[in-house]
A and B are shown apart, each in its own frame.
Chain A
């Protein structure tokens, strides 16, 4: 029974003489008071699920999300997506740590080690997978890795994958030279002052592992790795800190070679820059996920995740951001552009990519990030 019906019945009883005027007005007043108290709080309660905050990497990636995912999602569901950006997972984690539960909802995290790190800090949630039917289209290997971290449950859905490979200016470095030198080109004296590098300690250690012929997921000679990082530092012009800076340094020819994110390099190539891209053996593969942070409105978040995983949305975002989607190519037709993207695996098994082992990297995170911070500054 709605309120209008209740009022009509009350009025009818009053008109029939079943209620005296004082009692009728008293009941009307009580109803008004209850409504007045209820409505403002109801508004706040609804407001909590009227919007969901999403934080991502900015640049072309965020543009793709806005155009292909958030705007259509808001149009269809009425739930607004508050779109934020961050420069890196470390910076974002610091912000989340300083926030109140529920302030940040979904993050576009990179790497399983970040997933494990967030989980270890008590920031993971538990998704109700029944609310995300489109999860069935995702490459199983990508999902299983996350389940392994969170006891078979999920706090995220895999969304895309890519590599951090070697990007080089073809005017100054040939494809043959790149193939011959591989990761060692980043410590080539000949290119002093024209080498760049990401200021991320994991990437630096990964590439130093390759330069010293060690397993990037199980290096045994850390002294050799630190020496290789020092050599790279002394030859480098600049450590870059964001995708935009990476693209600018390469496009302006401030640097000729660096590691780079496959999607960003593809974007440069699309803009007409003669930039080559190569994944060396054991190159750095990663997968990105949409992580739901503890304290978020779960149903609204799950609805957004399901919407974003829908093949038409996922493919459109992938084409916009130039990273292959997590969708299994054996289950979903991914169109024409995606098979041309760097790192794309048509088998859906991803056997050719080496991903970071979260246990290995997270167990050394405290020590290595600090040591790299010192070496980076000349020590």
Chain B
């Protein structure tokens, strides 16, 4: 074997464990889901193999699924905007701080050490009728009886922001770290104010990081089902809850498969659009 051929083969050899894992853990299960989506659920709950378009027809034409999908995208969109508004200043502060960056980044990572479900449930103790917030308001005499704050769309968004904010901050931080600080000084030396130099120089250069954080927050937010389950009211379900119900409650794996592929297609399309305009490199930096 020639040296060139051996060198060409080496990367594939090194990549083969990872590729095997991706094929076995991602593509094979995905193929199963695709096959399942064409099966049918019988009256007893057993699956009937075959090639039927009934589930796809239902998923694509029933306004119930369309409305919940749109509502899910709306909630994910609001969450992403809130994360961007809250995350950017925090990332900027960390990136420009002198000396204590490691501590600040550690504080940012701290929530990841606690289970996502526990973090979500902690809002019940904060915003509940007998929770910390109501207790403080009552003891200060601001309210005479507890205010009902939980179990609505706002608390679902709050829970999602709590979960996703670190992803936004990290992505923006990585982007800001890559910007030469002297560029701002140069803008100032040419007569721009600090604010103007931020708007004209720093913000445009950090947009790829903001977009990467936005994409992550949107995709993760749109795919969640725990937050609406724990913090939502009776009508605050998101699309992933429909998948959960189809598969778990109704034991309708074929329909659940079609619904999950539908969500995957919508979110996958968003990722492709992002990749087309901005590329995946920034996202990888943020995740790294």
Q: Which residue of B lies closest to A255 (CB)?
A: B129
* B234 within 8 Å of A (CB atoms): yes
Assess whether A376 is in contact with B248, with CB atoms less than 8 Å apart: no
Q: Which residues of A contact B235 (CB under 8 A)?
A: 233, 376-378
The answer, among B45, B148, B229, B252, for a CB contact under 8 Å with A241, is B229
In the complex, which residues 24-65 of chain B have their Cβ closer than 8 Å to any Cβ of chain A? 41, 43-46, 64
In the complex, which residues 328-379 of chain A have their Cβ closer than 8 Å to any Cβ of chain B? 363, 365-366, 369-370, 373-374, 376-379
Q: Which residue of B lies closest to A253 (CB)?
A: B129
* B177 within 8 Å of A (CB atoms): no
* B251 within 8 Å of A (CB atoms): yes
**Would A90 and B251 be within 8 Å (CB), given that A254-B150, A378-B235 are in contact?**
yes
Assess whether B249 is in contact with A373, with CB atoms less than 8 Å apart: yes
Determine the distance from Cα of A91 to Cα of B245 in the docked complex, in whole angstroms.
9
**Would A238 and B45 be within 8 Å (CB), given that A93-B251, A97-B251, A193-B148 are in contact?**
no
CB A10 to nearest CB in B, in angstroms, measures 50
Main secondary structure of the interface of A (DSSP, over half): helix
Q: Which residues of A contact B129 (CB under 8 A)?
A: 252-254
Determine the distance from Cα of A374 to Cα of B64 in the docked complex, in whole angstroms.
8
Q: Which residues of A contact B46 (CB under 8 A)?
A: 121-122
CB A155 to nearest CB in B, in angstroms, measures 16
Q: Which residues of B contact A91 (CB under 8 A)?
A: 248-249
Q: Which residues of A contact B237 (CB under 8 A)?
A: 376-377
* Most chain B Cβ neighbours within 10 Å, of A91, A252, A363, A377: A377
Q: Which residues of A contact B275 (CB under 8 A)?
A: none
CB B162 to nearest CB in A, in angstroms, measures 19
The answer, among B148, B241, B249, for a CB contact under 8 Å with A237, is B148
Determine the distance from Cα of A121 to Cα of B131 in the docked complex, in whole angstroms.
45
Q: Which residue of B lies closest to A234 (CB)?
A: B234
Query: How many A residues face the partner with a CB closer than 8 A?
Result: 34
Number of contact residues on B: which range applies?
20 to 34
Assess whether A366 is in contact with B68, with CB atoms less than 8 Å apart: no
Assess whether A252 is in contact with B250, with CB atoms less than 8 Å apart: no
* A294 within 8 Å of B (CB atoms): no
Determine the distance from Cα of A88 to Cα of B43 in the docked complex, in whole angstroms.
20
Q: Which residues of B contact A236 (CB under 8 A)?
A: 233-234
Determine the distance from Cα of A88 to Cα of B248 in the docked complex, in whole angstroms.
9
**Would A94 and B247 be within 8 Å (CB), given that A233-B235, A254-B128 are in contact?**
yes
Q: Which residue of A lies closest to B130 (CB)?
A: A252
Q: Which residues of A contact B124 (CB under 8 A)?
A: 248, 252
Assess whether A366 is in contact with B41, with CB atoms less than 8 Å apart: yes
* A73 within 8 Å of B (CB atoms): no
Assess whether A238 is in contact with B245, with CB atoms less than 8 Å apart: no
**Would A90 and B249 be within 8 Å (CB), given that A121-B46, A238-B234, A366-B43 are in contact?**
yes
Determine the distance from Cα of A91 to Cα of B244 in the docked complex, in whole angstroms.
9
* B151 within 8 Å of A (CB atoms): yes
In the complex, which residues 108-133 of chain B have their Cβ closer than 8 Å to any Cβ of chain A? 124, 128-131
**Would A94 and B128 be within 8 Å (CB), given that A237-B148, A241-B229, A377-B237 are in contact?**
no
Across the A-B interface, the 8 shortest Cβ-Cβ residue pairs: A378-B235, A120-B44, A377-B237, A90-B249, A238-B151, A94-B248, A233-B234, A91-B248
Given contacts A201-B249, A253-B129, A366-B252, 6 further A-B contacts (CB under 8 A): A91-B249, A93-B251, A237-B150, A248-B124, A252-B128, A373-B242
Return 11 A-B CB contacts under 8 Å, by A number.
A88-B249, A91-B248, A121-B45, A122-B46, A237-B150, A237-B234, A252-B128, A254-B129, A365-B45, A377-B237, A378-B235
